[in-house]
C-alpha cells in the first residue's frame, strides 16, 4: 500500500508538504525529527490528509499532480 500525504506546518500554517510513503507514522516522525532537509525548518508538522493506493504508479502520479498549480488548488478545496 502506498500513501500520498499532505503535511501542514504547525508553526507556519501556510506551509504544506506533499509526499508518498509506505508508512505514514514513520514518515511523519522523520519529518518532525528534522531528518528531511526540505521540511526541517518548518517543524513541527501535522498530517492534514492522506489517500491510500494499491497501485504505486498511480500514487506517484497523484503525488506529482498535487505538486502542480491545479493540484494544489484541488487539495486546498477538497483535501
Q: What is the pLDDT of residues 35-69, one digit of tens each?
A: 999 999 999 999 999 999 999 999 999 999 999 99
Superfamily of 2-70 according to CATH:
GIY-YIG endonuclease (3.40.1440.10)
pLDDT band at 75 (very low <50, low <70, confident <90, very high): very high
Q: Which of 24, 23, 42 is nearest to 32 (CA)?
A: 42
pLDDT band at 13 (very low <50, low <70, confident <90, very high): very high
The whole-angstrom separation of Cα 71 and Cα 79 is 11
Domain ranges of the chain: 2-70
pLDDT at 17: 97
Phi and psi at 74, nearest 5°, equal -60, -50
Amino acid at each position: 500500500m502506498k500513501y500520498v500525504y499532505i503535511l501542514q506546518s504547525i508553526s507556519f500554517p501556510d506551509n504544506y508538504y506533499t509526499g508518498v510513503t509506505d508508512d505514514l507514522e514513520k514518515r511523519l516522525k522523520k519529518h518532525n525529527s528534522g531528518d528531511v532537509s526540505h521540511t526541517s525548518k518548518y517543524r513541527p508538522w501535522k498530517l492534514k490528509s492522506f489517500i491510500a493506493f494499491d497501485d504505486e504508479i498511480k500514487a506517484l502520479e497523484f503525488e506529482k499532480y498535487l505538486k502542480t498549480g491545479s493540484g494544489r488548488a484541488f487539495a486546498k478545496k477538497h483535501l
